Amino acid sequence: MKPVISELTTNAYAKINLSLDILGTRPDGYHEVCMIMQSLVLHDTLTLRITDGSGISMTCSDTSLPADETNLAYRAADLFCKTYTIADGISIHLEKVIPVAAGLAGGSSDAAAVLRGLNTMYGSPATPEELAALGVTLGADIPYCLMLGTVLSEGIGEKLTPLPPAPDFYCLLVKPSAGASTKQIYTEYDSLVQTESIPHPDTEALLSALKKRNRKALVSGLCNVLEPVTVKLVPEIDTIKNTLRTFGAEGVLMSGSGPTVFALFSDVAKSKRAEAHMRETGYASGTFFTSFYRPAK
């Protein structure tokens, strides 16, 4: 297969969970989920090039990240090339902005951007459905990261339903200095849910809020079943949430398995004051000011 474009630069957008519910565990060990996902303007940037020779090479602006076959972006390129019998050399450069291990799907989004980019460079041999089917073999969030926007995600994350766009908010992300592994959090959840009552999101109420563009109902319905688990491991999450509320955040929630907390504001001045304060405290390893991303139709 011959390329139609020799070089392409594309963005990989972060995501947050407006809700995250776990419905149970499947026989294969995966968790059955029901989530409302929202993409953000915050993004990594990937540059893909066709090179002489063969094989995949990768560089990354964040030298703490691997740039080999353990990186999801590299693995996505390898999978695409093997699936569509591509013999060209492919180079990937990743400009990393989305914080790592933060519950923002940075790695999944990078992989999705590579799949989407290579598909464009080679004349779109894969349909959107085929690209998503490839992606889910690498990570459950990748099909969503290919679609973007406001989306209901079910199954293990591969069953996607586009939703009415969420109302506009300024979004402040605060990542605590401490963290915990996703595997550990899900294991702890499975144990905790046996002995404690964990609040679950009212997904139907949130879907109604989106349909009616009801800002108040949307922010009051934010809920993540993994948050109580991660808070036990990273108690700073609660401190960050409470502090953000004192600065006028209308809704605050941990994204994904954490530990990043997002705060939604209608008032940009309040969000900027909150960001400045969080930077001065010792609770956060990073703060990121962004907003909701709306993909082009």
* Positions marked catalytic: 15, 141
Task: Please give the C-alpha separations between residue 26 and each of 29, 31, 73, in angstroms, as whole numbers.
Answer: 5, 6, 27
Using CB atoms within 10 A of its CB, is residue 198 exposed (0-12), middle (13-18) or buried (19+)?
middle
End-to-end Cα distance, the chain: 29
| Token couple for 238 | 């609660």
Residues contacting 262, CB < 8 A, separation 6+ = 16, 171, 172, 173, 174, 252, 253, 254, 255
Angle at CA of residue 264, ends 260 and 267, nearest 5°: 140
